[in-house]
Structure 1
């Protein structure tokens, strides 16, 4: 990814947060946000009970200071004792986990009939990825300029936010999904993101 000057950088995750939220039901009984960071997404989810988990204690401490509506958990989603939820979300967090193990765990946390929504990062690997890059790079700069002019640009992430510089490729993600969450809808988006939406089968 071509890095823009600091003043032209902006938050790609926030850009796609509205898309993620539009996938969710207007009201759910329970929701889990995985890798919640400072909790912006968790606070936006409409559910009777919202739980948010992150492996970074400092992130959870700061997120918990902003809202008592959400149950904040410091822990590893792969090993922490969690229930099953009508909605499970993961915004730019799945690539922090081993792909197959992480996706399997997210699927296991999704209640029968529940919804799993992932907005994730992918690594360029195919001709289609490179073709998308021809649109992404200039669009990224244009959005950065606009945001700089209206005062909403700047460093997109908190300085303490963990950063992982690797991510799976889209073919790897599609292959893993086919075996773990068959029928999931996976789409490539500009700005180096993909979405995965999966409805867990009902139990009859």
Structure 2
């Protein structure tokens, strides 16, 4: 059993939405004029509503999340279901924002790659579990930066809700070495980066035939 990641608990006024911080970056990785897009683990649908594609589909395993997300837009096809078993087809764009750690890593990443059409783009922003000296060194930067950003947002009155109380929570995540090893075999050539605020990112352009 994996140990729970250790986090410094900040005062409520300094807490903010780390996923929203990377959303603009994620959207910039997507091709313009995509025909079809799939957002996996869409939650309340903020990312899905921001994707510019002719057809956008969003899936989440939580019926409550889909119920609430579907009330915000009728331009997205909202699906309640398990991405590992639902018949979905393939998409020009596949995104997963803080959702891959809800799935078994190998099975989940394989599924995301399989949902990406030949020539398509897969973009993941995920959580990782600190396990190496490099991870601990990064936290020497992350912790004060996290507090400073939270303070700045509080003073400007722009602090986002860090986590919706109805959104499912997973307290474990894979390590970066585990992620890199899985990606090497499933999405070779993917660009993986360690990021601040306990996040990692992956961008993969599927070969024209896969």
Q: Shorter-chain TM-score category?
A: over 0.9
Residue 87 of structure 1, aligned match among 83, 93, 96: 93
| Aligned twin of 1:158 | 164
1:78-157 matches, cutoff 5 A? 78-153=84-159, 155-157=161-163
SS at the partner of 2:134? helix
Residue 45 of structure 1, aligned match among 36, 51, 71: 51
SS at the partner of 1:166? coil
Residue 66 of structure 1, aligned match among 68, 72, 91: 72
Paired with 2:177 and 2:98, the residues of 1 have a C-alpha distance of 18
SS at the partner of 1:114? strand
What's the CA shift string for 1:10-39, capped at 9, x where partnerless?
000000011100100122000000000000
RMSD: 1.0
> Taking structure 1 as the reference length, what is the TM-score of the superposition?
0.98
Paired with 2:76 and 2:176, the residues of 1 have a C-alpha distance of 32
Aligned length: 204
| Aligned twin of 1:4 | 10
What's the CA shift string for 1:149-203, capped at 9, x where partnerless?
1112264111101111100000000000000001110000000000000011112
Q: Is the 8 A contact 1:6 1:154 kept in 2?
A: no
Extract unaligned runs of 5+ from structure 2.
1-6
Paired with 2:206 and 2:153, the residues of 1 have a C-alpha distance of 38
Q: Is the 8 A contact 1:26 1:46 kept in 2?
A: yes
Paired with 1:75 and 1:185, the residues of 2 have a C-alpha distance of 29
> Taking structure 2 as the reference length, what is the TM-score of the superposition?
0.95
